[in-house]
Amino acid sequence: MIKSPRGTRDLLPPDTALWNFVEAAVRDVFRAYNFHEIRTPIFESTELFARGVGEDTDIVSKEMFTWEDRGRAESDKGQSLTLRPENTAGVVRAYIEHKLWDRGLNKLFYIGPQFRRERPQKGRYRQFYQIGAEIIGPAAAGSQSPARDAEILELLATLLDRVGITDWMLELNSVGCPADRAKFDEALRQALAPVVGKMCTDCQRRAVTNPLRVFDCKVPEDQPIIDTLPTINQFLDEACRTHYEEVKNILNAVGVPFVENPRLVRGLDYYRLTTFEFTHGALGAQNAILGGGRYDGLSEALGGPAAPGIGFAIGEDRLVLSLAASAESVVRKPDVYIAPLGAGMNREAARLARELRRHDLVVDLGDESFRLKKSFEAADKMGSRYILIVGENEVAADAFALKHLASGEQVTVPRGELAQRILPK
């Protein structure tokens, strides 16, 4: 038997109802904040991620699905392509390619699959889904303002509340500007030098290539060493410190609670200033639902004009996992199951189903070959509220036996009154 590849899975009913509920709620929230959808290709030039995400990150060095896309002739030089491991770089590439700065401030969102070759674990897959958003544009359009950072964070608080996650925690930090990072990197190198030999092999590599990545380490034995290292907030210049304070002031003003985490860094090289994560206890040790931050230098790194921006990505798989207990509450079960009895009744049942569905009722159909007992069993199994009997006598009278399955009450209802009788009160 052929099975789905490792790290992937099929999304099946009734779980897909929960996914649709989440995505519909997300779209409603984005609409309220004047965000508009963007859809980029699921694969891009490998160079985009090497330059945008960073060659020294685990994503680029270990986790990407990459291949050479050769031309028709064997001699044609191919292009290296990669299934997108994240979507911010692709959105900024589209921003540059289509000169979206002409539109001023761009507020964009996306929903779709991403791909990383990493070890599958609870809520993490090699093909996973992200909901994300970016605010990007020229500084003159206000894209650099701390008000944009606070708006993104307030949107996320609204979004999580809307889908039913109320016990989230927002962790907040600033990773400063490139000049701050350079000073911090040097301090980290000096602090790591005498202790890095006691750390995991990944941290030993990171200490050389990009010391900030040491804070991404999840190895328990390394945490006591990491706790002794300097923090970025010791190195923020006045402008960065002022920006961070204003973000916090606005969050306090709008009532979005947060905790400061001076060791919070994001795993991608393009982040500047504000960084954040929302966590949720239902996910265990790996409890981050989403993360993001500001990336004011990314457009320039990809060959575009200066375009300050801030964004986030929600791991939709993990978001849905945290809501799994409420799956039953969002699945809309049939309002009525129509049971045709006898030859020729499938046609009459189909006519009735069409009429009722025009009233936004969920209708399922049996078959004229079923015995009445089998129809009742099918209606009960799918959780239908009513069963509607369609036989020769009912058709002749143009009135039908309608039974409420929970109470057992059965009444005869004229065709024209059926929809109003079945509609949820």
Note the pLDDT tens digit of each residue in 356-390.
999 999 999 999 999 999 999 999 999 999 999 99
The mean pLDDT of 97-112, rounded to a whole number, is 95
Q: CB of 2 within 8 A of CB of 8?
A: no
Contact status, residue 113 vs residue 11, Cβ threshold 8 Å:
no
pLDDT at 123: 64
- pTM (predicted TM-score): 0.81
Residue 324 has pLDDT above 80, yes or no: no
Token representation of residue 203: 């941290």
Confidence of residue 406 (pLDDT cuts 50, 70, 90): very high
User: Rounded mean pLDDT of 405-417?
Assistant: 94
Residue 214: the pLDDT is 83
Answer with the residue of higher pLDDT: 198 or 1: 1
Give percent helix, percent strand, percent coil of the chain, each to the nearest 5.
Answer: 45, 20, 35
Residues 6+ apart with CB under 8 A from 84: 40, 41, 42, 43, 44, 49, 90, 114, 115
Report the pLDDT value the prediction gives residue 203, as an integer from 0 to 100: 85
**Average pLDDT of the segment spanning 290-301:** 89
Encoding tokens for residue 279?
A: 């966590």
pLDDT at 321: 82
Decide if pLDDT at 403 tops 70. yes
DSSP code, position 103: G
CATH superfamily for 332-422 is: Anticodon-binding domain (3.40.50.800)
- Rg of the chain's alpha carbons, rounded to an integer? 28
Task: Please give the pLDDT value at position 76.
Answer: 61
Listed range (193-202, 301-310, 404-413) with the worst mean pLDDT: 193-202
DSSP state of 121: B
Distant-in-sequence, close-in-space partners of 333: CB < 8 Å, separation ≥ 6: 362, 382, 383, 384, 385
pLDDT above 60: residue 75 = no
pLDDT in the model for residue 325: 59
For the chain, the structural domain boundaries read 15-177+237-327, 332-422
Give the pLDDT band (50/70/90) at residue 269: low
Cα 151 from chain centroid (whole Å): 18
Please state whether the peptide bond connecting residue 14 to the residue before it is cis, i.e. omega within 30 degrees of 0: yes
Which residues, in sequence order, are bridge partners of residue 127?
115
In this predicted structure, the answer to whether residue 89 has a pLDDT above a threshold of 60 is yes
pLDDT at 243: 92
- With CA atoms as reference, report the closest residue to 304 among 51, 114, 122: 51
Nearest to 223, CA basis, from 235, 214, 213, 232: 214
Which of 157-166, 235-244, 263-272, 381-390 has the weakest average pLDDT? 263-272
Q: What percentage of the chain has pLDDT greater than the value 90?
A: 55
Class of the CATH-defined domain 15-177+237-327: alpha beta
Instruction: Give me the pLDDT at residue 54, please.
Output: 63
282: which 2 tokens?
A: 């239902």
Average pLDDT value for residue range 206-220: 81
Assign 55 a pLDDT band (cuts: 50, 70, 90): low
Segments of 226-308 assigned E as strands: 259-260, 272-279, 288-294
The band of 182, judged by pLDDT with boundaries at 50, 70 and 90, is: confident
User: Among all chains, which residue has been given the structure tokens 């979005």?
Assistant: 256
- The predicted structure's pLDDT at residue 56: 57
Helix (H) or strand (E) run with residue 312 in it = strand 309-315
